[in-house]
Amino acid sequence: MLGKYSFRTRVNRLFCAAASAILLSNTVMAVKRDDFKTSDDISFYLRHQEFSRTITPPEQPDGYEALPASPYNVVEDSVRLDGHTLAAVVQHKSVSVPLKVEVHFLKNGTIRVRAQEEEPHVARYDDTQRLVLRDEGCSQEYALAEDLEHTHEIVDGVRVHTVRYTDKKNAAFSVRITENPWTLTYLQNGVPVVELNGKGFFHLEHLRPKPDQETIDNDATGEWKDTFLTWTDYKDRGPESFGMDIRFVGFEHVYGIPEHATSLSLKTTDGSDEDGYTQPYRLWNLGVFEHELDDPLSLYGAIPFMAAHNTAATVGVFWLNASETLVDITRNKKKEEEEDSGSVTTHWVSETGVLDMFLMPGPTVSDLYSQYADLVEPTPLPQEFALGYHTCRWSYLDQEDVLTVSDKMHEHDIPYDVIWLDIDYTDGMRYFTWDYSKFPDPVAMQKQLAYDGHKLVTIIDPHVKSDPAYHIWKQGSESGYLIKSITNSNTNKSKASANYKAWCWPKESNWVDFLNPDAVSWYGEQYQFNKYPDSTKDLFIWNDMNEPAAFRMPECTVENAATHHGGWEHRNVHNLYGMLNHKATFQGLRARESPAKRPFVLSRSFFAGSQRYGAVWTGDNGASWSYLRVSVPMVLSNSIGGMHFSGADVGGFFGDPEPELLVRWYQLGIWYPFFRAHSHRYAKRREPWLFDEPYFSLIRNSVRERYRMLPYWYTLFREASLTGMPIVRPMWMEFPADQGLFAEEKVFMVGPSIMVAPAMDPDLTKPVSVRFPSHENWYNMHTHETHLGPSRRQFVVDLAQTLVYVRGGSVVPTRERQRKSSAFMKHDPFTLYVYVGRDGTSAGRLYVDDGESYGYENGSFIEREFSFTSGSLVSRPSARTVDSAQQREYLEQMSDVLVESVVFVGVQARRISSATITVNGNSTSNLPLDYGKRRTDTRFTIHDLSVPVGSDWEITLC
């Protein structure tokens, strides 16, 4: 079927079809959409589609729906509950290959479902769990045997097994398994929420002996041989794919499975909706330059996590597989005569590996992300500088250019933290080197930047220039640390010991094999100061092109049959590659100093688990209003998938934004967790001071706003590191009962307190629609104008205005002094904004540590909880604060860091005549009140508090 997906002929600029011309010319080349696969080119997916068509019953008269005729049944008397695992043998009616299905019950209510052959012909790839799960999968807390109850009964002639949690915390959760056909249903309070194989699409292609060469040569099904364009992909192991339908019962919206340039609420893929797709969402990491929009095409990252939400619950599925995966989505819409709210059915198909999935029951958003973090770990606390403003382009020309940009930032009073170097700083694209003709003294350059509180980031890609004189290539090749060539018996391309080669930026290249533990250690060692020449503690890393991108290859990536450590083909681990590159770099940076400092590493490619190692961005976007708009659902989808530290290239990578677009992008970009401006080498320079007024001042004001809000951002990252909760959130996460927000993707929350409604249209007369949810006050952050929810308002926003609102009931910490960088703010005082809720109360939190070390793990931090009620604002230590020698020492170090001012918003200022403060339970003193211009305003400020940030105090209003 042809749809919008099939007609894409608009360009993806750069690099695949004619790599040599791209590398040597000064023009941006166009790549046709046809260089990338559609589902019609993916044979294992087509086989599963054909299987599903044999399962789906024909339409019945009078609306009667026949049950799917799944051929997979549970073998009689094979079901056993042993400890925390329910095991069963499942078999296809006409295939005598028994499958082992295991259901593992975790302590937090999550269940894990695994399936493969009971006795596989050869081993399936099963190391994804070790590489992705927390502590290599060894620290999962499983339910105790005494907390599970197994019963079974005959229902309509079919045996049904039920396993219930009996402990108090999880008593609402149970799992029901039918034997004929085999299905699994997860229930909350007896109500189904997630169903497996309800449509009968479960199918596993069992491993089998290899046929003769004539059979392979004549294979038209793609089981043993695939073709795409001019390439042939031989499959030594034959067909081994599997698929499963997963139905979210009672849900109309599903989210996640990044990365795609599409809507927040995922669209259908069966052509049934006018704005839906006719192709599945594809999870297969690809370097698609200037990717298209409104498209389920694969992009740079793949996280097979999906969340579903309705007014009663939030649930999730994590499909733990790193091979090529496609996901179809259909909706069963609510019928007028039905009481339920419909459902969403998803069909997941993966090419290789073991079927391994986790069903997370929530039922709240925070429960879901706690369960997910238990599996894959949350985002760790980054260095504080990483939350500042990053300035980057491909490329700053030389050392003089870098220092000039830095000086100009200071001259124009624009704070920034990091300046970046793209590939041209290297000696001929040899990573871990410098082009000394451009950068004659890299150490002096870094020292000058550091003197002003700045860091340097250099790019290190995972491809290695094929050059026997290049020490990295020589060591990697001689030690066997590079991916090996295709060794499959159907080709005579190479010997098993030969390195896989293709083209990338250095022309002929090889790739580091991050599946090899020795290669990972060796690669990490290259970041040692004595091995990475002229690197310092203020230099950090950008891992780009790590999908991995390979020019002149199918879909611009490494071929499926290339060989990794252990003999595994690349097809098994492709989506892991970028994450493993990210991990190796992270570990290398952490090991280069003692005591260790928190690394900062940006990666273009990612998978579940990448959040442990640093930040990502949405890739090579364009300088247009449409790319500005799509950045919001893309960043939110990354957050839903657990990749919280993400952003988009502010201004757009390709092209030249008009000044109005650039201003709007900065106004939005300061609310991305990762805030970086970046542009292509052939784009015009766009440093802020190059623009006339009012554009320059508006951009600078936005950057300053980011720095003012750093205490709030850093506190949010601390919370995310402990709870797994997203930092930027779709509106439904904060207002789960408001159905009008379930598909909202233009407005979002930053933490629990700040709502951002960006202006994203070139027409300044076009109003921005803002829905103020909840029965609460909403305060404009800049004017403090109040709006009462629930309500909807239309705002015409001139270029100087932004629509940022603070939720009533919040206490928001800021730092008001503007400096060169965050490093110069470390001892600046804090200001607290108390936004009073409709019930007259407010609450908030502030987290402070040294911003760079791991001392916080031993208690070297300050975490304060603020509460305002009955006219008193109280600061007390959080429950996480434990008295210790390290904690007391840090308090002493921070004794000169003060809370300077408190701004009360939403109180009747005219009713407040005085205030007193009590510090550490001792002295009480009167405080002067600043009412501003009009005492009747609902705002006043208390200045010059001068109380140490780590002290206990109480302000009482009279």
Partners of 504 in the β-ladder: 507
Alpha-carbon distance of 175 to 164, in angstroms, equals: 7
Task: State which amino acid sits at residue 510.
Answer: N
The helix or strand, by DSSP H or E, that contains position 346, with its residue range, turns out to be strand 343-350
Q: What is the DSSP pairing of strand 183-188 with strand 173-178? A: antiparallel
Contact between residue 362 and residue 313 where contact means Cβ atoms under 8 Å apart: yes
Catalytic: 937? no
Catalytic residue among 620, 692, 828, 896: 620
Phi, psi values for residue 827, rounded to 5°: -110, 15
Helix residue ranges, H only, 506-575: 517-525
Cα separation of 451 and 440, whole Å? 19
Question: What six digits make up the tokens of 207?
Answer: 């491993």
3-class DSSP assignment, residue 659:
helix
Give me the half-sphere count of Cα atoms (radius 13 Å) on the Cβ side of residue 341: 14
Single out the residue of 629, 627, 642 nearest to residue 673, CA to CA. Answer: 642
Give, for 105, the enclosing helix (H) or strand (E).
Answer: strand 99-105
Tokens of 742: 């379930």
Phi-psi region of 318 (alpha: psi -120 to 50; beta: other; left: phi over 0): beta
User: Is 664 in a helix, a strand, or coil?
Assistant: helix
Burial of 602 (0-12, 13-18, 19+ CB in 10 A): buried
The one catalytic residue in 147, 219, 422, 544 is 544
Q: Which two tokens stand for residue 730?
A: 């779709």
User: Cα Rg for the chain, rounded, in angstroms?
Assistant: 29
At residue 41, the 3 state secondary structure works out as helix
Taken in order 393, 397, 402, 408, is the CA torsion positive or negative?
negative
Which amino acid belongs to residue 648? A
Helix axes 399-411, 442-451, angle to 10 degrees: 10
Backbone torsions φ then ψ of 90, nearest 5 degrees: -120, 140
Residue appearing with tokens 């069909």: 347
Distance in angstroms (rounded) separating the CA atoms of residues 553 and 578? 18
Angle subtended by helix axes 365-376 and 710-723, to nearest 10: 70
Q: Are strands 898-905 and 830-835 parallel, antiparallel or unpaired?
A: parallel
Structure tokens at 175: 């799992």
Structure tokens given for 489: 């018996």
The DSSP call for residue 700 is H
Would you say 793 and 691 are in contact if contact means Cβ atoms under 8 Å apart? Answer: no
Could you tell me how many residues make up the chain? 958
Q: State the chain's maximal CA–CA distance in angstroms.
A: 94
Distance CA 367, CA 390 (A): 34
Q: How many Å apart are CA 637 and CA 85, to the nearest integer?
A: 33
The tokens of 603 are what?
Answer: 């990666």
Which of helix, strand or coil describes residue 857?
helix
Q: How far apart are CA 757 and CA 781, in angstroms?
A: 12
- ∠ CA 905-908-909, rounded to 5°: 80
Q: Tell me if residue 518 is catalytic.
A: no
Helices 577-591 and 517-525 cross at an angle (nearest 10°) of 50
Instruction: Give backbone dihedrals phi and psi of 854, rounded to 5 degrees, phi first.
Output: -100, 20
Active-site amino acid positions: 544, 620
